[in-house]
């Protein structure tokens, strides 16, 4: 048994470098130069990722990396395939090309933890102390993987769970986080009223399973999930709304922001689920769901406006029991405020969990009539409260999207003031604006921020082929075209309550703070961002 040191693993086909000193900074600001343009989308064009010149990235795992313990039809980090069956790429035989390939499982949001004494399927191997946990957004079954950052290629990715405690196959997962009070990993599924929250241990076991806790937290299109200092769980939902406007190119607001207040911090099976309600100036609830071109949505998406909020309880296990229920339906029935596909949210570090920022994806269509005034471009909102337990607060827009900055999805603070937010614009919008996705950083204290592009995502060869097959309507084709940025994550991996995500101000590349992101679809590569020195 030989210890593998951080950043020095011999990973087949993947370059690794050591983490060194941090980049220059001024106060709380990262000194990042703007990448001037996004990468274009063109048929047959594969392009590399471009980062700010102060940055570089290194692949830590990719979709074709074999799992050390394949089972249940999952044999690779990012494919539903075992031993290349089905094949990971289209094959040619006897002069004919078979335009089929294994289904890609799309590793999603990253959760980084530093844990001692972890084991895996190989009882004789030292797996180190640095791990990335991820759910996977697509495929059957859903599953949880652990990237062992200190390990060699043979032990780099461990399959953690494919079933729940009742023996059912897990759903596809989008969000993840670590709850230090319950000492559990939390995973979210955005499958509408069949979605919800599952919890499980970070410790490997051959028969590891996850527990479905949707009887307390509800079933909804949950993606973003964060734990606050009072033990409450904050959830951000992504549910597409009914078509609206010219030829249905806009979508009605149909998603909600939630807070689960457990009876006890270390037990998430009992408590109250609440939904956010935004109030007009006269104290009445906004009616954003029923009026996709109404004044409420217009005012909500205007710089300089601020609105009072309150949390409304939509389910309490003490009185309503613990049978699973649809949170989306309950929130609508309680006149909670609907948003246009919010996806992820984080607490601003160094502010005692008094500021919560969440993204809004919008309509992801340049032809949406809601783009200019009614939230079609999406953006980022800031919810301010006196404490995470407060029942009332204030909501204001932090950043309004536009054609160049839209489809905003995953989000993470790089410093106390600098927010990193990445796009998931989708194939249609990629074609409409001839631009692939980008990652941006902006100062949340600016009244009208001007984001810096730190990442212009390219398109790998696998995604380029997938895009062509999808555009051609290839029968039986199941994978998404183009790549997507997901899993932007800045963390020191501290699993204790003191290290609660959002408590300490990050110092990227110093004092154990690391930065990760995943290039979803295509080759499904998870990268670590490092200083380019």
pLDDT attached to residue 22:
37
- Residue 69 is predicted with a pLDDT of 97
How would you label 410-436 residue by residue, b for 16+ Cβ within 10 Å and e otherwise? bbbbbbbbbbbbbbbbbbebbbbbebb
pLDDT at 442: 97
- CB atoms under 10 Å from CB of 10, counted, come to 11
**What dihedral angle (degrees, nearest 10) is formed by the CA atoms of 15, 18, 23, 28?**
100
- Output the pLDDT for position 231: 98
Instruction: Output the pLDDT for position 9.
Output: 36
Rg (the chain; Cα; Å): 22
pLDDT at 122: 98
pLDDT at 26: 35
Average pLDDT per consecutive 10 residues, the chain (533 residues; last block may be shorter): 35 35 45 96 95 97 98 96 93 70 96 97 97 97 98 98 97 98 98 97 96 98 98 97 87 97 97 98 95 95 97 98 97 98 97 98 96 95 98 98 97 97 95 96 96 97 92 86 96 97 95 97 97 91
Q: CB of 297 within 8 A of CB of 374?
A: yes
Instruction: Give the pair of three-digit tokens for residue 128.
Output: 């180190």
Tens digits of residue pLDDT in 308-333: 999 999 999 999 999 999 999 999 99
139-186: per-residue pLDDT in tens?
Answer: 999 999 999 999 999 999 999 999 999 999 999 999 999 999 999 999
HSE-up of 443 (CA within 13 Å, CB side)?
12
């Amino acid at each position: 048994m030989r210890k593998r040191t951080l950043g020095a693993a011999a990973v087949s086909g993947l370059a690794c470098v050591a983490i060194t000193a941090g980049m220059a900074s001024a106060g709380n600001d990262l000194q990042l130069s703007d990448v001037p343009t996004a990468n274009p989308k063109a048929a047959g064009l594969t392009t590399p990722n471009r980062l700010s010149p102060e940055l570089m990235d290194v692949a830590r795992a990719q979709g074709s990396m074999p799992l050390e313990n394949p089972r249940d039809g999952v044999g690779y980090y990012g494919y539903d395939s075992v031993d290349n069956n089905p094949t990971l790429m289209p094959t040619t035989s006897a002069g004919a090309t078979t335009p089929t390939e294994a289904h890609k499982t799309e590793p999603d949001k990253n959760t980084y933890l530093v844990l001692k004494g972890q084991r895996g399927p190989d009882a004789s191997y030292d797996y180190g102390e640095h791990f990335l946990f991820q759910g996977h957004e697509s495929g059957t079954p859903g599953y949880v993987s652990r990237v062992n950052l200190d390990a060699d290629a043979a032990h780099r990715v461990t399959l953690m769970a494919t079933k729940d405690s009742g023996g059912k196959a897990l759903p596809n997962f989008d969000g993840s986080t670590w709850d230090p009070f319950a000492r559990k990993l939390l995973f979210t599924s955005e499958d509408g009223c069949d979605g919800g929250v599952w919890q499980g241990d970070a410790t490997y076991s051959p028969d590891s399973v996850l527990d479905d806790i949707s009887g307390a937290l509800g079933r909804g299109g949950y993606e973003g999930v964060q734990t606050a200092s009072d033990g409450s769980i904050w959830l951000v939902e992504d549910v597409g709304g009914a078509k609206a406007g010219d030829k249905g190119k806009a979508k009605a607001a149909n998603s909600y922001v939630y807070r689960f207040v457990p009876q006890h911090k270390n037990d998430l099976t009992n408590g109250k689920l609440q939904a956010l309600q935004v109030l007009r100036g006269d104290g009445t609830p906004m009616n954003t769901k029923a009026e996709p071109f109404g004044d409420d949505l217009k005012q909500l998406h205007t710089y300089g406006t601020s609105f009072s909020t309150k949390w409304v309880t939509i389910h309490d296990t003490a009185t309503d029991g613990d049978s699973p229920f649809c949170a989306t339906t309950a929130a609508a029935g309680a006149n909670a405020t609907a948003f246009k596909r919010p996806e992820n949210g984080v607490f601003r570090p160094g502010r005692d969990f008094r500021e919560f920022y969440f993204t809004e994806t919008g309509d992801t269509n340049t032809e949406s009539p809601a783009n200019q005034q009614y939230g079609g471009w999406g953006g980022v909102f800031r919810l301010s409260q006196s404490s995470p337990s407060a029942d009332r607060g204030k909501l204001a827009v932090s950043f309004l999207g536009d054609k160049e900055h839209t489809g905003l999805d995953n989000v993470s603070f790089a410093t106390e003031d600098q927010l990193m937010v990445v796009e998931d614009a989708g194939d249609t919008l990629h074609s409409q604006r001839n631009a692939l996705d980008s990652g941006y950083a902006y100062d949340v204290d600016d009244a009208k921020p001007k984001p810096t592009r730190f990442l212009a995502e390219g398109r790998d060869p696998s995604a380029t082929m997938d895009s062509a097959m999808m555009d051609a309507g290839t029968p039986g084709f199941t994978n998404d075209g183009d790549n997507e940025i997901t899993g932007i994550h800045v963390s020191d991996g501290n699993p204790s309550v003191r290290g609660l995500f959002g408590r300490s101000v990050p110092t990227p590349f110093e004092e154990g703070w690391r930065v990760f992101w995943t290039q979803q679809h295509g080759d499904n590569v998870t990268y670590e961002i490092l200083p380019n020195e």
